[in-house]
Amino acid sequence: MDQKSGAHERNPEFAEFVARLKRIKLLGSAQGIIEYDMEVSMPPGGAEARGEVAAELAGLEHEMTTSAEFRRKAERMMSLAHRGQLDPFEATVVRRACKEIEREAKLPKELVEELAAVTSEAHHVWAAAKGISDFTSFLPHLKRIIALKRQEAAAVGFRASPYDALLDGYEPGMTCASVEAMFTPLTAFLKDFIRRLASGTPPDESRAKIRAPLVIQQRVCRKVAEAMGFDFSRGRLDASAHPFTNRLHPGDTRITTRYDENDLLSAVYSTVHETGHALYEAGMPQEQFGTCAGESASFGIHESQSRLWENMIGRSAGFCFFLIYDILRHEGLPIGHPYDFRPHDMFCAVNVCRPSLIRTEADEVTYNLHLALRFELERALIEGTIEAKDLPRLWNAKMEEYLGVTVPDDGHGVLQDVHWSAGYFGYFPTYTLGNLYAAQLFEAARRDLPLVGEKSFSGDFADLRDWLRAKVWRHGAMLDPADLITQATGEPPSAEPFKRYLETKFKLVYRL
């Protein structure tokens, strides 16, 4: 799909439709700015009123999206598309926008409001329950959320599984069946691969622990983001409890990281991850802001961009060399390793595989087993084949089976993630899809750019950026993720490149 179709005269009705889409998107920008301030700047006293501001804007956006007048306009545009009165670019923009409008319009107002109210309350209950490992206090809220998400799936409509309706909101075109086809063999491979690594030589992890004062960490992270291509005249790097990326609007992409004075690389890898997201956001056609041509293809594709930079680039020998010699050395780091801190040691130390309890702290190998477990459980919850009350037991059994890890309490088990309390059913698989897409894209990029690994040693990522821009960024959401991956790599989405990638790297690190 070629974005340059803006060259000829646009259908005036299309232009008017896009202008309205952009107005809705501007309201989304306002919400993004408000949320960003909430995470980065807001004093605690502002929380309650801020929630009201956010709700008011969300309500206005919903009204604007689902007003009878706008839906009539959307229907009219669809009929123009059907009658061939729009060019292919216009037709795609219309089709995608109408899909979202319809999805939103299908949800009864009462359901939307109840979900907002229930998840808002559940969030607080979940946070408290997690702190004291008390699943039973969270259970009634979780049951209500599951019931509402099942209603949502029914309202949206689906063919095979109600879970498909939810998944499609995050990963257009993906279904339980297509996810399962990749995840089941991947899970088997990973379980076996972990056992194989256990027979190797584990790296010395102390080579990844670097202490550094906050101001130095801030400078290092800024330099890393700059080297990756983040433009600080069109963005910022700040600190927040949970790192995130948010393009507020064209020309202003924000990323955050978190700092721990005992662990410089934690801030660095958060920064690399978020910068990966940010390059994608800033790399989309900015003039298409408001239409699918100017937004991300899916949650999975977004995650592929962050994970490609974080893992394929960031955890490579070349990047460790660049980080040590071009950045850390100028800051007098790593302190305490004046002579013997070698890039290869760091490379090995940032590529440790160790089964553990918490998803967000998991390494590249075990991470996807955490997700497989969640996908299986949440799918069964939505399909109604298991009950919420049985979750802790099922969770703990799967942790034992997949990772050989014994869960000591629900705070470190089934209660660890925020997603279910927020109603994000269907989100988890996109993390693994991101990893798979990343490996597949990177394998293709290396085919086209044989020197990409070598160039990492000097922090030269220009070729890789150009490749990603051409293959991924510039397409926005004009293609479904599976089609985007197929077009970019010549193959449909598959777990094979990821398996090859893991084998190559971890066999080297574990000297197998």
In the complex, the residues that contact its own copies under the rule CB under 8 A are 23, 26-27, 29-30, 33-34, 36-37, 41-50, 52-53, 56-57, 60, 231-236, 238, 248-252, 289
Residue 23: CB minimum distance to its own copies, A: 6
CA distance to 105, 145, 171, 245, 376, per residue, from 166 (Å): 15, 13, 9, 23, 14
Whether 35 is catalytic is no
Residue 311 is given by DSSP the state I
Residue 232: CB minimum distance to its own copies, A: 7
* Burial degree of 217 (CB within 10 A; 0-12, 13-18, 19+): buried
Residue 507: CB minimum distance to its own copies, A: 43
Q: Using CA atoms, how far apart are residues 272 and 161, in angstroms rounded to an integer? A: 36
Q: Using CA atoms, how far apart are residues 115 and 423, in angstroms rounded to an integer? A: 8
Helix axes 176-198, 364-383, angle to 10 degrees: 140
Residue 79: Cβ within 10 Å count? 11
> Closest CB to its own copies among 230 and 395?
230
Q: How far is CA 441 from the centre of its chain?
A: 16
The active-site residue out of 61, 90, 152, 274 is 274
Tokens 């929380």 — which residue? Answer: 47
Residue 281: CB minimum distance to its own copies, A: 13
Residue 26: CB minimum distance to its own copies, A: 4
> Closest CB to its own copies among 30 and 216?
30
Contact 28, 318 (CB under 8 A): no
Please spell the DSSP secondary structure of 432-479, one letter per residue.
Answer: HHHHHHHHHHHHHHHHH-TTHHHHHTTT--HHHHHHHHHHTGGGTTSS
> Closest CB to its own copies among 249 and 465?
249
* 252-257, strands of its sheet edge to edge: 235-239, 252-257, 245-249
> If DSSP codes are grouped into helix, strand and coil, which group holds residue 320?
helix
Q: How far is CA 406 from the centre of its chain?
A: 28
> Closest CB to its own copies among 226 and 263?
226
> Closest CB to its own copies among 33 and 112?
33
Residue 52: CB minimum distance to its own copies, A: 6
Residue 187: CB minimum distance to its own copies, A: 43
Residue 448: Cβ within 10 Å count? 12
> Closest CB to its own copies among 41 and 458?
41
> Closest CB to its own copies among 29 and 66?
29
Contact 451, 406 (CB under 8 A): no
- Token pair listed for 44: 């605690």
Q: Which residues have a catalytic role annotated?
A: 274
